[in-house]
Amino acid sequence: MIARGEGRASSAPPRRAVHALVREVTSDTPLVVAFSGGLDSCVLLHMLRWGVDPGGEGAWKVVAAHYDHAMRDGSRADAEWAQGVCRAWGVPFVVERSTTPPASESEARAARYTFLDRVRTEFGDAAVVLTAHHADDQAETVLFRMFRGTGPDGLRGIHERRPGLVRPLLDVWREDLEAYAAEVGLRWREDPTNEHLGLARNALRHEILPLVEGSVASGARRALARLARLAEADRQAWSEVLPMVARLLDLQEGGSGEGDADRHLTVDRTSFLSLGRPLRGRVIRYLVTALGGALDEAAVLRVNDFVESSTSGRRIQMRRGATVGHDLDRIVFAGPHERLPSSSVRRAVVIERASAGRAKAVLGDRSVRVAWSTEEGREDGVEGEASFDADELSMPLELRARAPGDRIRLQGGSRKVKKVLLEHRIPSARRDAVPVLVDAEGEVLWIPDIARSTLARPRPGAPSLRIRIDP
């Protein structure tokens, strides 16, 4: 059989691929082979059992894992056949049958990988799952994703590896696997559903790709596999560039440090807007992905529009859970399991009377020490301190976080505390941690280091209550 575009098929490519794999791992690394009994997995398992000998027969710790989806008649017989092969080859065999047949191919795939990872973990953290996906699978996957309108990352197709999983045959063509099987006299089990043209992948394999190679481009499969490699190289390049771009945007990470609930990422809005929209879109995906979210093309466009036109205090919720907000000169990104920063932990300090004392207030992720004492009245002048006329105070006083509707009386009239904090460029992530001193009537007397009410101003020689705030 002639290999597409590169002469006669050979058993050398699969041998080289498996030799390259075993050079990466030690002989005592458990290798869990996803073994369906088809050509691909039979070749992979056979080479690991008989074709690679690092130090004596059977030196490699190879385990075959077979998942029976129970989606068709005959699947149980396939499992029994696979078990018989492993018995003959002296390979440990693990099998599991689905109690409820998956409703779709994607469900079946998810169940299969869950099973494989469970088998892997039973053999320790160093164990690796091997699947026998090959270059034809890669070409079909890329073409399928192209028809669905995938983005550049989707053109990477099947990933060669991810944590705990390797696909060593991904650059090997099926013709070469068949050549190896013919050379060693290997038999395998064909899945009859692979011939059903009603399945999208089978239609690509048996009709569309042969038609394209016959009448449009004879090297279409190899071109598609090359496209996947180029897309992967592009992704790797962006993985190096995007962190540098983020640093130029003054990327900052915030959160309480007590889990992911408050974790968020922010960038400088002006710097962000200096980027062109395509690069900005890349950064948006990068930041949301870093928070565990995902955005489609429409969502990226929406975020781009929001960044350009929003006013401070606005936020938008994405369909998949990511949240983007505009906070003064920062753009705030929060993922699907996070929320835009807010404070939920609060413990106020109550000053019952004009006396001396000390305590600690907890305002979100911030703790402040509060001390108070009585003295003769004198004007404020020290940072973090304020004096109040003891006779004019409506006791008790309370040092707490701001509350909705808080107002403070200033020289120009009564102002909303929220507005005062905004004018002082206090980001929303910090506003709920700003201490506010109020009296028994709810009047705001003092926002330390930001604003002082006109109420209860100290009088020279009159008794006063002096309050000090230490971060």
Domain-wise residue ranges, the chain? 12-232, 249-334, 346-470
For residues 432 and 401, is the Cβ–Cβ distance under 8 A?
A: yes
Cα gap 310→288, rounded to integer Å: 19
Q: What is the structure's pLDDT at 103? A: 82
Question: Are the C-beta atoms of 93 and 83 separated by less than 8 Å?
Answer: yes
Q: Tell me, what's the pLDDT at 55?
A: 46
Provide the pLDDT confidence category of residue 249 given band limits of 50, 70 and 90: very high
Residue 100 is classified by DSSP as: S
**Mean confidence (pLDDT) of the chain:** 86
Each residue's pLDDT tens digit, 389-436: 888 888 889 888 888 888 999 988 888 888 888 888 787 767 778 888
Nearest-angstrom CA–CA distance, 403 and 447:
13
Q: Is 185 helix (H, G, I), strand (E, B) or coil?
A: coil
pLDDT band for 294, please (50, 70, 90 cuts).
confident
Of 3.20.20.70, 3.30.465.60, 2.120.10.30, 3.60.15.10, the CATH number of 249-334 is: 3.30.465.60
> What pLDDT sits at residue 177?
96
Question: CB within 8 A of 161, min separation 6: which ones?
Answer: 167
Mean pLDDT, residues 123-140: 93
Least confident span in 18-32, 71-85, 235-249: 18-32
Which residues, in sequence order, are CB contacts of 407 under 8 Å at separation 6+? 414, 415, 416, 417, 444
CA pair distance 365, 346, nearest whole angstrom = 9
Provide the edge-to-edge strand list for the sheet that holds 161-162. Answer: 93-97, 62-68, 31-34, 128-130, 165-166, 161-162
**pLDDT of 57:** 47
Q: Is the pLDDT of residue 3 over 50?
A: no
- pLDDT at residue 133 greater than cutoff 60: yes
Q: Is 126 left (phi over 0), alpha (psi -120 to 50) or beta?
A: alpha
Tell me the Cα Rg of the chain.
33
Name 386's Cβ contacts closer than 8 Å, sequence gap at least 6: 380, 437, 445, 446, 448, 452, 466, 467
Q: Hey, which residues does 254 pair with through a beta bridge? A: 264
Q: What is the pLDDT of residue 412?
A: 82
CB 372 within 8 A of CB 356: yes
For 8-60, the pLDDT digits (tens) are: 788 899 999 988 887 887 777 899 999 999 999 999 999 998 876 544 444 57
Residue with the larger pLDDT of the pair 11 and 111: 111
Structure confidence at residue 257 as a pLDDT band (50, 70, 90): very low
- pLDDT band per the 50, 70, 90 thresholds, residue 202: confident
Question: Which range among 66-80, 228-242, 383-397, 423-437 shows the weakest confidence by mean pLDDT?
Answer: 423-437
| Cβ atoms 353, 422 nearer than 8 A | no
Alpha-carbon distance 461 to 376, whole Å? 5
Question: Do you find a cis peptide bond into 278, omega within 30 degrees of 0?
Answer: no
Structure tokens at 71: 């989606």
Query: Where is average pLDDT lowest: 88-102, 117-131, 334-348?
Result: 334-348
Terminus-to-terminus CA distance in the chain, angstroms?
78
Q: Are strands 31-34 and 62-68 parallel, antiparallel or unpaired?
A: parallel
Q: How far is CA 137 from CA 158, 205, 309, 468, in A?
A: 8, 9, 45, 70
Q: Mean pLDDT highest for which of 20-24, 341-345, 367-371?
A: 367-371
Q: How confident is the model at residue 83 (pLDDT cuts 50, 70, 90)?
A: very high
Note the maximum CA span of the chain: 107
Q: Residue 260: its pLDDT value, please? A: 47
Query: Taking the CA of residue 202 as centre, how many other CA atoms within 13 Å lie in the half-sphere pointing to its CB?
Result: 10
Write down the pLDDT at residue 374: 87
**Confidence (pLDDT) at 54:** 47
- Residue 14 CA, distance from chain mean position: 34
**Which residues touch 115 (CB under 8 Å, ≥6 apart)?**
65, 67, 96
- pLDDT for 360 beyond 90: no
- Higher model confidence: residue 246 or residue 470? 246
Dihedral of CA 140/142/147/148: which sign? positive
39-43, 104-108, 453-457, 466-470: which is most confident = 39-43
Q: What are phi and psi of 122, to 5 degrees?
A: -65, -20
Mean pLDDT for the stretch of residues 307-317: 88
The pLDDT-based confidence of 197 (bands split at 50, 70, 90) is low
pLDDT of 343 higher than 70: no
Q: How many CA atoms lie within 13 A of 47 on its CB side?
A: 26
Residue 221 and residue 227 in contact, taking contact as beta carbons nearer than 8 Å = no
Mean of pLDDT values over 224-237: 95
On the question of pLDDT at 5 being above 50, the answer is no
> Is the domain 12-232 a CATH 3.40.50.620 member?
yes
Per-residue confidence (pLDDT) for residue 382, from 0 to 100: 74
The mean pLDDT of 181-196, rounded to a whole number, is: 82
What is the pLDDT, as a whole number, of residue 42?
96
The DSSP 8-state label assigned to residue 401 in this structure reads: E
Q: Which residues contact 395 (CB under 8 A, 6 or more apart)?
A: 351, 352, 353, 354, 439, 440
